[in-house]
Amino acid sequence: MKPTATKKDVQQVIRLIKAAGLRADVSSGRFQTVIGIVGDEKKINFDQIKSLTGVYDVNRIQVPYRLMSRSYISHDIVVKVGDVSIGGNEEPVIIAGPCSIESYEQMFRIAKKVKEAGCHILRGGAYKPRTSVHSFQGLGLDGLKHLHNVGKDLGIPTVSEVRSEFDVEMVAKYCDMLQIGARNMYNQDLIEAAAKQGKPILFKRGFSAQIDEYLSFAERIVANGNKKLVLCERGIMPLGGSFKSQTRFTLDLNAIPVLRKETPFPVIVDPSHGTGRKDLIIPMSRSSIAAGAHGLMIEVHDRPQEALSDANQALAPEDLTKIIMISKLIHQTIAQSEVPFSGDISNGASHDH
């Protein structure tokens, strides 16, 4: 819309979009309002829209993640989880905690340590996605309550994974942020149900998904009116063959600058699942921040030998302190350099409406 467009002008455009059986996504900036079309845009007459009062221009966005593209929203989006800000030029945000919630005591003990280490958001799994029907499946609702109580008692926001459409409401009730795991990246019904809760969403990339495919599914969150979206790289399938891969997954750091260039949403990295190896978490954390990641998600356990899942990739709390320290230093070094993060990503992209 033109900067001079009235509220009535905007309403008229929305009406026309709805009349075609489509939905409208309205972004109101300080100077300008931009309206995105949700659905099959072939159903609408672009010339007719262009002729309406107050319309500045009508553009067809070529990428399949229309509402998430830099062409639609040019400025970096900062997502708030509790009072923590993720994205833009903010310092790296650290999400840490155990793989599985095992009890209030275990959760409190670890949470206290990670908070002292400088961690911003507490993670813990209540509904665990598991390969085998024969192993520990998580504490479910009880786990959520423990996480919620520990978060409240220590004053730290929380995030937990939502696995089933039936759990969406409960996770949204007890947590500050909903995580959708890599295995559910293609689960469009779960994605939409989670988005509708209105809470921030941590949406992990599937381990065999291309960036464009990943963003097409993330688009479902935004198309359901939820822009509190944090993207997360967590490793892609390695090649197999005669030799075994040294890492469980290949953490794909190329994804960081690509995602930052393609969309304005914050991007974090999970080096714990992304490598599956405790001894690689420190170097890959440094590497992630240097690539431009807005934060890290790290599995921490103070008694790994007692952990009910993923023990061999859980870091000790004291190592988390080191990661947080070096992450901040690298972030500052780059931010103060001649080529800060924004310098990488503008190259070749046209970010204006």
Alpha carbon 320 to chain centroid, angstroms: 21
d(CA 200, CA 221): 10
Enter the DSSP assignment of 232. E
Query: Scanning residues 8 to 47, which ones bind a copy of itself (CB under 8 A)?
Result: 38-41
CB 275 within 8 A of CB 313: yes
Identify which of residues 10 and 259 has a Cβ nearer to a copy of itself in the complex: 259
Q: What are the structure tokens assigned to 28, written together?
A: 């109101």
Strands 79-81 and 84-86, how do they pair? antiparallel
CB 95 within 8 A of CB 296: yes
Query: Scanning residues 231 to 290, which ones bind a copy of itself (CB under 8 A)?
Result: 236-254, 256-258, 261, 275-276, 278-280, 282-284, 286-290
Identify which of residues 25 and 176 has a Cβ nearer to a copy of itself in the complex: 25
Identify which of residues 109 and 196 has a Cβ nearer to a copy of itself in the complex: 196
Rounded to a whole number of angstroms, the minimum distance from the CB of residue 112 to a copy of itself is 22
Q: Residues with Cβ < 8 Å from 229, sequence gap 6 or more?
A: 68, 77, 79, 200, 201, 203, 218, 221, 222, 265
Query: Scanning residues 57 to 96, which ones bind a copy of itself (CB under 8 A)?
Result: 64, 66
**Largest Cα–Cα distance in the chain?**
68
Query: Scanning residues 200 to 219, which ones bind a copy of itself (CB under 8 A)?
Result: 207-213, 216-217, 219
Q: Residues with Cβ < 8 Å from 293, sequence gap 6 or more?
A: 92, 233, 256, 267, 268, 269
Rounded to a whole number of angstroms, the minimum distance from the CB of residue 209 to a copy of itself is 8
Question: Which helix (H) or strand (E) covers residue 248, if one does?
Answer: none
Rounded to a whole number of angstroms, the minimum distance from the CB of residue 9 to a copy of itself is 25
Rounded to a whole number of angstroms, the minimum distance from the CB of residue 51 to a copy of itself is 24
Identify which of residues 54 and 235 has a Cβ nearer to a copy of itself in the complex: 235
Identify which of residues 150 and 293 has a Cβ nearer to a copy of itself in the complex: 293
Identify which of residues 155 and 240 has a Cβ nearer to a copy of itself in the complex: 240
Rounded to a whole number of angstroms, the minimum distance from the CB of residue 320 to a copy of itself is 12
CA-nearest of 273, 266, 281 to 234 is 273
Q: How many chain residues interact with a copy of itself (CB under 8 A)?
A: 91
Contact mark string toward a copy of itself, 151..190, x via CB under 8 A: ------------xxxx----------------xx-xxxx-
CA-nearest of 280, 260, 259 to 271 is 280
d(CA 227, CA 263): 12
Contact mark string toward a copy of itself, 292..331, x via CB under 8 A: x-----------------------------x--xx--xx-
Q: In the set 70, 220, 234, 301, which binds a copy of itself (CB under 8 A)? A: 220
Enter the DSSP assignment of 224. T
What residues does 201 pair with on adjacent strands?
A: 178, 229
Identify which of residues 202 and 258 has a Cβ nearer to a copy of itself in the complex: 258
Identify which of residues 47 and 279 has a Cβ nearer to a copy of itself in the complex: 279
Query: Scanning residues 100 to 139, which ones bind a copy of itself (CB under 8 A)?
Result: 129-136
Q: Counting contacts by CB under 8 A, is residue 5 touching a copy of itself?
A: no
Rounded to a whole number of angstroms, the minimum distance from the CB of residue 303 to a copy of itself is 18
CB 299 within 8 A of CB 96: yes
Enter the DSSP assignment of 230. E
Rounded to a whole number of angstroms, the minimum distance from the CB of residue 53 to a copy of itself is 27
